[in-house]
C-alpha cells in the first residue's frame, strides 16, 4: 500500500466514524451479495404503534407521537429514529415495483438541492422475502446508489418496524417533527417536487 492510498483509506474511515455510516457495494455476479450483510435485523420499538394508514380524509396519526425505532443497518451499524430533528422515514420493499420506481426518484432528489436543510432521511428495508424478486435489498439499494448519508434500518422478518408505523402499502413515508410528532404520511409513489412541497408545507419552511 502506498502512502497516498493509506491516507485515502484513513480519510474514509474517519468520515464513516463521524457520520456513523457504513458504505456497502454489490458485486456484479449473477448471485450478487453485499459482503457481511444481514437482510434481517432485530428492531426495538419504543412507544405506541400508529394506527394503520387508510383512506380517511384526515389521517388519525397526524399529531400523535411516532414510536422510536432502534435497530441496525445491513452491516450492523446502529440506526435509530430518535427525535431532535425533523425526519422523513421511508419504508421500502425490494420486490415492490412502486418502490423500484420511487428509489431512483429519491436518489435524484438527494442530489437536486430540493431536500430541506433541516431534514434527516432514514430508510427502512422491510417486507423482505427471500423468495420474491429483486432479493436481497442490500444489493438493490447499493446498485441504486442509495445516499450514504441516509441510513437504512433493516426490519425483522415479521415487519416489526413497518407495523409500528401503520404501514399499509409501499413505498410508505412518515414525516416526523423535531419533537417526534407525526406531521404527514403517504402510501404510494410521489414525485420529488410534490414531496418537497409536502415537507416544506408541513415544516413551515
pLDDT single digits (tens) 93-120 = 999 999 999 999 999 999 999 999 999 9
> Are 171 and 102 contacting, i.e. CB atoms less than 8 angstroms apart?
yes
pLDDT(14) > 80: no
What pLDDT, on the 0 to 100 scale, is given for residue 185?
A: 98
* Mean pLDDT of the 187-203 span: 97
Architecture of domain 3-203: 3-Layer(aba) Sandwich (3.40)
pLDDT(27) > 70: no
Burial class (CB in 10 A: 0-12, 13-18, 19+), 18: exposed
User: For the segment 130-171, what is each residue's pLDDT rounded down to a tens digit?
Assistant: 999 999 999 999 999 999 999 999 999 999 999 999 999 999
- Distance between CA atoms of residues 76 and 73, nearest Å: 5
What pLDDT, on the 0 to 100 scale, is given for residue 6?
A: 43
Please state the domain extents for the chain.
Answer: 3-203
What pLDDT, on the 0 to 100 scale, is given for residue 32?
A: 54
pLDDT(5) > 50: no
Amino acid at each position: 500500500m502506498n502512502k497516498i492510498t493509506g491516507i485515502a483509506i484513513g480519510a474514509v474511515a474517519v468520515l464513516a466514524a463521524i457520520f456513523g455510516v457504513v458504505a456497502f457495494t454489490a458485486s456484479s455476479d449473477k448471485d450478487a451479495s453485499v459482503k457481511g450483510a444481514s437482510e434481517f435485523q432485530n428492531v426495538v420499538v419504543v412507544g405506541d404503534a400508529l394506527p394503520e394508514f387508510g383512506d380517511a380524509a384526515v389521517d388519525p396519526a397526524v399529531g400523535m407521537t411516532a414510536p422510536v425505532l432502534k435497530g441496525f443497518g445491513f452491516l450492523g451499524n446502529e440506526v435509530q429514529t430518535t427525535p431532535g430533528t425533523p425526519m422523513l422515514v421511508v419504508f421500502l420493499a425490494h420486490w415492490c415495483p412502486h418502490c423500484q420506481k420511487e428509489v431512483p426518484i429519491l436518489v435524484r432528489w438527494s442530489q437536486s438541492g430540493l431536500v430541506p436543510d433541516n431534514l434527516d432521511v432514514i430508510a427502512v428495508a422491510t417486507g423482505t422475502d427471500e423468495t420474491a424478486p429483486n432479493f436481497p435489498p442490500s444489493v438493490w439499494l447499493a446498485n441504486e446508489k442509495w445516499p450514504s448519508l441516509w441510513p437504512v434500518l433493516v426490519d425483522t422478518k415479521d415487519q416489526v418496524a413497518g407495523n409500528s408505523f401503520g404501514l399499509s402499502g409501499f413505498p410508505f413515508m412518515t414525516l416526523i417533527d423535531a419533537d417526534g410528532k407525526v406531521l404527514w404520511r403517504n402510501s404510494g409513489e410521489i414525485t420529488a417536487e410534490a414531496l418537497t412541497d409536502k415537507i416544506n408545507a408541513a415544516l413551515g419552511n
